[in-house]
């Protein structure tokens, strides 16, 4: 659709004079048209992000909409941003930072949804380029990437995983994870079409024309989102929404169990009650006092702060995944420490949102989480075998039939879903390619590690099922 009619423009100007600022804002963006016009389909999201961005805009970006255009058009409004493939991420990151400082959960949520929106490309079926030169400052933003053209290769599977990852990040900040559905795009067009015609819309509509015209194609269902959030956050996912009473109760249970474990662990340590012989029996008993002290390594969490919630014990044993946190097992200590810090943060935030501790704010919980990570070795971690994974933990994958987002189907999924927030996929390449990309962009791993990962991904592609997972993990030594 091209906007070339002066009569139509006059009509829209007339309407805009009687409509809110959001309409005027969207109208101003329409004065420059693009070859593949759908960048305004989610104006309901763009308008909120634009408001957040204005609070502090150090890069002098003109408007969020420019990041959804091709690079030739995007440069007109990119301000100081040089890598245009990273413009969308940069905007989302700054808008999220601003909204977080203002304690604006709605603004934070819209920034995350915006990061996951599809970016225009030159023709139907052409995927957009991912940001590789920088990593977002906010881990919630760094975990995301943009939707791809629904007609591009593998888009259905990939876009579903993007939506599920978005849902887990929304849940983590206290927003409704079901909002991830709003990041969806249109039905696939005819591959190779350069006109942009077909299933898209680009009308001025503060509610988003993709919504009002019924063109949004959901990538996931609410039940799939609930399963993904439960799998990605464990019992501490109770901070999902303000009205999720049952979930908040679950998070409180985690905090209470953690506090009990810590106190019991302290007493047992003083009396010399630790016994490595009971390690394997107790290691999977989430929140029990035994899991904190009877594992062969004792409680490995070096953090002792307890703002809003007690620190979460990290256990160890001699199994292939030796580090345990509330029943979840990890290949390396860095990933386990990250999970322990995150569980404590969620329990703290739940105490704030539930009104149990009015002396602290969610920002205090965030600060404590960073202190916890720092106390346990900072951002630099190494996976098993000495592989340099930068700021991330183990890149291992698993092949399982017992996955929350699958109904009896065997699929591949990252073992470390905190650092590599990706849902399951039936083809190993979808998961391994995501991990390798994240190692280079988000984790800032060495070039050698990324090269090893790509080689491991090829090895996995040559096999199937558990053999593929084994091939990938063995090649990386994890």
Closest CA to 449 of 475, 413, 415: 475
Q: Which residues of the chain have pLDDT under 50?
A: 1-37, 233-296, 379-385
Three-state SS for 53?
helix
Please give the Cα distance from 398 to 420 (Å, whole number). Answer: 13
The whole-number pLDDT of residue 385 equals 45
Q: Which residue has the tokens 């245009």?
A: 84
Contact indicator for 324, 313 with CB cutoff of 8 Å? no
Query: Crossing angle, helix 333-353 and helix 362-375, to 10 degrees?
Result: 160
Per-residue model confidence as pLDDT tens digits over 131-146: 999 989 998 899 899 9
Please give the Cα distance from 294 to 316 (Å, whole number). Answer: 9
Say which residues have a Cβ less than 8 Å from residue 454's Cβ, sequence separation at least 6.
436
φ, ψ at 335 (rounded to 5°): -65, -40
Q: Locate all alpha helices (DSSP H) within 116-204, ordered by sequence.
A: 139-142, 155-172
End-to-end CA, the chain: 50
Threshold 0.85, pTM exceeds:
no
The whole-number pLDDT of residue 227 equals 85
Three-state SS for 328?
strand
Contact indicator for 331, 307 with CB cutoff of 8 Å? no
The whole-number pLDDT of residue 325 equals 82
Please give the Cα distance from 134 to 131 (Å, whole number). Answer: 7
φ, ψ at 323 (rounded to 5°): -105, 125
Say which residues have a Cβ less than 8 Å from residue 222's Cβ, sequence separation at least 6.
178, 181
Please give the Cα distance from 52 to 110 (Å, whole number). Answer: 9
Q: Which residue has the tokens 């340099």?
A: 388
Say which residues have a Cβ less than 8 Å from residue 199's Cβ, sequence separation at least 6.
186, 187, 188, 189, 215
CB-count burial class (<10 Å; 0-12, 13-18, 19+) for 98: buried
User: What size, in residues, is the chain?
Assistant: 478
Instruction: Identify the helix (H) or strand (E) that includes residue 399.
Output: strand 397-400
Contact indicator for 142, 180 with CB cutoff of 8 Å? no
C-alpha atoms less than 13 angstroms from C-alpha of 343 in its C-beta half-sphere: 33
Closest CA to 297 of 271, 320, 281, 274: 274
Per-residue model confidence as pLDDT tens digits over 392-430: 888 989 888 877 767 778 888 888 888 888 888 888 988
Closest CA to 438 of 198, 167, 132, 175: 132
Instruction: Identify the helix (H) or strand (E) that includes residue 222.
Output: helix 222-233
The whole-number pLDDT of residue 196 equals 52
Please give the Cα distance from 224 to 344 (Å, whole number). Answer: 25
């Amino acid at each position: 659709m091209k906007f070339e009619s002066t009569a139509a423009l006059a009509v829209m100007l007339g309407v805009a004079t009687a409509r809110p600022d959001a309409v005027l804002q969207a109208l101003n963006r329409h004065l420059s048209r693009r070859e593949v016009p759908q960048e305004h389909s989610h104006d309901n999201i763009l308008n909120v992000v634009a408001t957040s961005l204005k609070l502090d805009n150090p890069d002098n970006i003109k408007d969020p909409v420019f990041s959804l255009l091709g690079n030739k058009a995007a440069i007109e409004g990119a301000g100081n941003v040089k890598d245009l493939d990273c413009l969308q991420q940069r905007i989302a990151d700054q808008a999220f930072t601003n909204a977080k400082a203002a304690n604006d959960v709605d603004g934070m949520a819209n920034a995350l949804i915006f990061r996951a929106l599809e970016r225009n490309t030159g023709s139907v079926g052409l995927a957009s380029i991912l940001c590789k030169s920088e990593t977002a400052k906010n881990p919630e933003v760094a975990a995301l990437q943009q939707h791809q053209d629904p007609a591009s290769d593998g888009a259905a599977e990939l876009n579903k995983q993007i939506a599920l990852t978005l849902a887990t990040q929304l849940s983590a900040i206290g927003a409704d994870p079901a909002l991830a559905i709003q990041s969806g795009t249109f039905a696939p067009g005819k591959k190779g079409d350069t006109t942009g015609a077909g299933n898209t819309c680009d009308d001025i509509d503060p509610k988003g024309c993709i919504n009002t015209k019924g063109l949004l194609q959901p990538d996931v269902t609410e039940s799939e989102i609930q399963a993904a959030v439960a799998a990605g956050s464990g019992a501490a996912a109770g901070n999902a929404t303000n009205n999720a009473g049952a979930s908040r109760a679950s998070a409180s249970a985690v905090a209470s169990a953690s506090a009990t474990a810590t106190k019991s662990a302290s007493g047992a340590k003083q009396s010399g009650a630790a016994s490595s012989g009971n390690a394997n029996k107790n290691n999977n008993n989430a929140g029990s006092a035994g899991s904190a002290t009877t594992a062969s390594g004792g409680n490995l969490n070096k953090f002792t702060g307890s703002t809003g919630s007690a620190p979460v014990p990290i256990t160890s044993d001699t199994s292939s995944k030796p580090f345990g946190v509330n029943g979840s097992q990890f290949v390396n200590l860095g990933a386990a420490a990250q999970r322990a810090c995150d569980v404590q943060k969620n329990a703290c935030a739940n105490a704030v949102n539930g009104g149990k501790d009015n002396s602290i704010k969610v920002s205090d919980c965030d600060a404590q989480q960073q202190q916890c990570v720092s106390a346990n070795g900072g951002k630099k971690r190494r996976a098993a075998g000495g592989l340099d994974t930068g700021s991330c933990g183990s890149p291992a994958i698993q092949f399982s039939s017992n996955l929350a987002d699958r109904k009896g189907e065997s699929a591949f999924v990252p073992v470390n879903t905190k650092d590599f927030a990706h849902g399951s996929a039936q083809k190993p390449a979808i998961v391994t390619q995501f991990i390798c990309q994240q190692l280079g962009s988000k984790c800032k791993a060495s070039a050698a590690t990324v090269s090893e990962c790509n080689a491991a991904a090829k090895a996995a592609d040559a096999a199937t099922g558990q053999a593929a997972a084994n091939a990938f993990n063995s090649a990386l030594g994890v």
